[in-house]
Amino acid sequence: GENVEQHPSTLSVQEGDSAVIKCTYSDSASNYFPWYKQELGKRPQLIIDIRSNVGEKKDQRIAVTLNKTAKHFSLHITETQPEDSAVYFCAATSYSGGGADGLTFGKGTHLIIQP
Amino acid sequence: NAGVTQTPKFRILKIGQSMTLQCAQDMNHNYMYWYRQDPGMGLKLIYYSVGAGITDKGEVPNGYNVSRSTTEDFPLRLELAAPSQTSVYFCASSYPRQGRDYGYTFGSGTRLTVV
């Protein structure tokens, strides 16, 4: 099955700086890679995703890059703000013809924005 | 449109008791999932369903059972609760089709403690 590794487990950055979280996956058949943000005591919320036919996707201050050859993908947050403080999870799965086995999640990164 | 609704939000069980965690979605999503999240960890897939009458085991199915008699409902049954089942349980749904958003919609979670 798929295995997703996520680093670092904790990341502390100064407000206004950039943050980068990295994930690797093991199954070359995986073709969908979402990122979720989870605030304390809340449900995970999808913030951005990327499919394997795209190398990069951006949404305002958030971007995700994918390197299929190396089997890794990264989340980039620029101009960090206090409300970016949360736990971020990467995930991977294989969608084909409408089938899906469920997302495999990384263990999460606790992002701390220092004022 | 309520999205994904989970009940109860909190529950304390004694060892050996049984209970059913309820999950319902009103988005006509065909895919539904149950995950557990242990403290400081990512989400692990327990069971999933690709449609009414079809269920499959995920990564950690032992001690749990599911059923999917309708598109809307996907209850999770715990038989003979054990302390190792203390966790937060999230139900999720999705509607993966070519060209559409593959992201999950999560419920608000059920915090279960087994004592």
| Residue type at position A46 | L
| Residue type at position A107 | K
Q: Do A34 and B103 touch (CB under 8 A)?
A: yes
**Is pLDDT at A2 greater than 70 in this prediction?**
yes
* Percent of chain A at pLDDT exceeding 90: 81
Report residue A37's pLDDT band, with 50, 70 and 90 as the boundaries: very high
Residue B104: the pLDDT is 85
pLDDT tens readout for residues B25-57:
998 888 999 999 998 788 999 999 989 999 999
pLDDT tens readout for residues A11-30:
999 999 999 999 999 999 99
* Percent of chain A at pLDDT exceeding 70: 95
Chain centroid, CA B58 distance in Å? 11
Per CB-CB distance under 8 Å, the chain B contacts of A40 are none
List CB contacts of B93: < 8 A, sequence separation 6 or more.
B4, B25, B27, B29, B31, B32, B33, B74, B104, B105
Average pLDDT over residues A28-39: 93
**Is pLDDT at B101 greater than 70 in this prediction?**
no
Query: Which of A43, A89, A95 is facing B96, going by the closest CB pair?
Result: A95
Per the CB < 8 A criterion, the answer to whether B97 and B31 are in contact is no
Per CB-CB distance under 8 Å, the chain A contacts of B48 are 101-102
